[in-house]
Chain A
Amino acid sequence: MPMGIRSMKQKYRNKTDQLFFHGMLLLPVVLLFIYHILPIPAGILMAFQNFQPMKGFLGSDFIGFQNFRKLALLPDTFPALRNTLMIAVWKVIGNLVIPVTFALLLNEVRVTWFKRTVQTITYLPYFLSWVILSGIMIQFLSPGSAATSPGLFNALLMKLHIIENPVYFLGTNGTFRQTMVISDIWKNFGYNTIIYLAALTGIDPTLYEAAAVDGAGRIKQTLHITLPGIAPFIALMTILAIGNILNAGFDQIFNLYNPAVYASGDIIDTLVYRLGLVNRQYSLSAAVGLLRSVVSCILVLTGYKLADQFAGYKIW
């Protein structure tokens, strides 16, 4: 299809439907404002106060940087920071590499029903909440006891002679972080794949035809057409993911951690939960939150600069 007609159609559509789409966007924007933008000043204020719910933001006493000083002295702060970074960095990398690879492979499959089936099956776990999945995972990864045989995963690994004795994946510091990273990738890669598959359909098919004429094989086509074609999406997804680098996934870890793996599994969010909600030190947890937001903000801006520099990609 000649490019001219396509862009004309696009322009025509934009003009008539724009209002409608903006209208549709209104509700999410309002929600975003209420739940994400509005609390920001309050959160910043709280971090420097000795906040008491009944006195409110205006009535509570200002105590300067005392909350941050207290935080630095807390024995849990640095292990939590380290664990968060270790888990989140691997999640960012895994959630990028695996879905891209999977999308590329799936894109080469020509049997439609097979492609669809695989896509649906891998997409399924995305819909389950961690509350449910954690129950399943505890059973699945169980090392067994004197009364029960090892869970499916351990049984499988033992059948394949990869391990000799069952491994307590959720009860050992040496395996807990890996289990968190891999299970998170497993849960999300179906969803992420769809984003890349959608990006793949946007690549002009004539480019492939031209490459084929020039004698490029499948691998050459992937390297020189497909990958550059979805590069902006990869850059976008990476920048978005970098913003979450200090967010190792509260739902998942809170439902799966236990005293045996506090050393490797305690993350910033679980620390905030304990301080803020269990111990009611609201200000201290607000200080942790502020610290995290500042770091995330710096990282996102850096990521954006880098993406602009290396991939020539601009969001705004």
Chain B
Amino acid sequence: MRTKRAAVLTMAAIMGISLVGCQTGGTTPASGTETGSTGETSGEKNLFGYDEPVTIKVGYAVVNDFEWYGGESFTDNTWVNLYKEHNIIPEILYEVDRSQWETKLSTAIMSGNYPDVFKVKPNDFVSYANTGVAGDITAALEEYASDELKAYLASDGGMALQSVTVDGKIYGLPVIGSSYDTVPLMFIRQDWLDKLELDMPETMEELKAVAHAFTYDDPDGNGKADTYGLALNGVDILNSGNGDVNAIFNAYNAYPGNDGLSMVTGADGKVTWGGTNAEGMKAGLAFLQDLYQDGALAKDFITMDSEAIFEEAGSGRCGIWFGPTWGGMNPAKDLLASNPDVHITSAPVPDGLNQGGSKALLISAVSGVYCVSAMCENPEVLIKLANLNVDKIGSPDSEEEYNMYFGDYANYSGWKASLLHLEVPNKNYDNYLKMSAALESGDSSQLNTEQISKLAMITAYLDAHEAGSIDAADTTISGGISNYTIFCDPQGSYAAIHRLVQEDRLINSAYNAFQTATMSENSATLKKLTVETIVKIITGDSVDSYDTFLNSWYALGGESAIAEAQEWADANGY
């Protein structure tokens, strides 16, 4: 054994570590950890794959706006081919819609036959780590993480890595996303506002007037009563996607949160649930109740799901909806075919309290955790997949490589097809700052590959729009308008985020750890009660029934959840 390891070290020293498309230095010495995995026969430490084929079980949960481009499929796409090139052979256990992600995974785990590599929601992570579903990756991470991956994990000062450490062991790779991406914003049909000669609503009173006008003043000018103001996702009314109702409450300083358990610092300085601000919640509910009575909130919002919100907005029926930064992408793309002049703009949530602008809640930047099954014989495969990801996505070598792995909406389906996707933290905010500056100055020398490629699409769309020659079937043009609504429109979604940042209108969550076991045990009951109460009040129950609800909410585990959050905040000096 000893001689063998010595031989390995020598060989590595002689050959140097030369790996495809990667610039890792040979700084990490082979530690004493047993590699013990199949395919580790050759001398050098392969950070990206294996020398012999290793099969891993995987499960796909794809978002509903995902499309395959260029004839790609689950078994044949740039990512799968890259994995295969590195002798990582994915064996697909299931392919489901994103909405089935957690239940499918939970069922698979229950059956004992579950994916080797899987992503979990932060709130579910602790129970997966505690119950031995997720494997310990401490040693594998130490040994196989590329320098780029290490830099990624250190990018937030190691906070995210700390949160996936349970009893001193690391059980997963945190996705350090960008909190900005999920801040709820208002999306509105600017072309309708212009047609009716209305201003962008800045207060909730103005929003009410605009919603009414969108419903009864024929904003699309076709002479038919086929439009309305606001759409909400009534089936899943507190969610992080399009049709989220949180925004309405944010206007009145109330923050129930998309998991129904957002913690904020209350007026008395103590940690509390963002929905305990009864005054604010009631004001938001009264606002929605009025809109519902008026018809400006879709009468049939109760049976609308996230898919339906896309459809309502994308078919030109609804003029206002709330959602995260990407909320305008698909509707803009869909509307382009029938209306080349469509213009979807975003703004921070209007102000309900005349306090000079509503405030948005920033939730933890960790949007998910990638885990490896405790039963997987090659736990280091998770690290290798992550190395591949940060290499191809974080620092693509060429525009072609960027297009292949990030996706170009024409030939390559991109990152959504990958098994593991770690975003560059706050990447989109950076994209906004650089791309909007470059569009204005015409100087693209500061842009990276991704930004150049996106800006090219946006310019193509803008040029075509100017020339009046929009071809909605052209993926460059539709990709252009999608990206324009996010990055380059002076009234786009990141411009709205920028405004929130500049005006210091973002407040931090008072609880930044993952949910404790008791929290996550009670969360479904609490959320059910919350959404039920919200929908009932919007459709006609007395606004004051919110007080009764709050009493039950405290009794059903809410009180202990708040106490646990307070305990955490005290311990962590918040």
Interface of A with B (CB < 8 Å)? 52-55, 74-76, 138, 142-148, 168, 170-171, 258-260, 262-263, 273-282
Contact = CB atoms under 8 A, between A and B. Distances in A.
B528 A53 contact: no
Given A52-B131, A76-B528, A258-B535, A171 B237 contact: no
Interface residues of B, number: 49
B532 A145 contact: no
Interface stretch (B4-12, B225-233, B438-446): B225-233
Interface of B: 102-103, 106-107, 109-110, 112, 124, 127, 131-133, 215-216, 225-229, 234-235, 237, 295-296, 298-303, 312, 317-318, 374, 520-521, 523-525, 528-529, 531-532, 534-536, 539, 552, 556
B249 to A, nearest CB: 16
A75 B237 contact: no
A275 B302 CA distance: 23
A147 B556 CA distance: 40
Contacts of A147: 225-228, 298, 312, 317-318
A138 B528 contact: no
A75 B522 CA distance: 12
A258 B528 contact: no
B127 A280 contact: yes
Nearest to B130: A52
Contact of B303 (A54, A142, A275): A142
Contacts of B227: 146-147
Contacts of A281: 521
B131 A145 contact: no
Contacts of A274: 524, 528
Contact of B124 (A54, A276, A280): A280
Contacts of A259: 234-235, 237, 302, 528, 531-532, 534-536
A168 B103 contact: no
A53 B109 contact: yes
A54 B376 CA distance: 13
B521 A262 contact: no
B110 A282 contact: yes
A75 to B, nearest CB: 6
A74 B374 CA distance: 33
A278 B103 contact: yes
Given A53-B109, A54-B132, A76 B295 contact: no
Find the residue from B110, B374, B534 having the highest chain A CB count within 10 A.
Answer: B110
Contact of B103 (A52, A74, A277): A277
Nearest to A54: B132
A195 B26 CA distance: 75
Given A146-B228, A168-B302, A280 B536 contact: no
A150 to B, nearest CB: 9
Nearest to B238: A259
Contacts of B524: 274-275, 278-279
A183 to B, nearest CB: 14
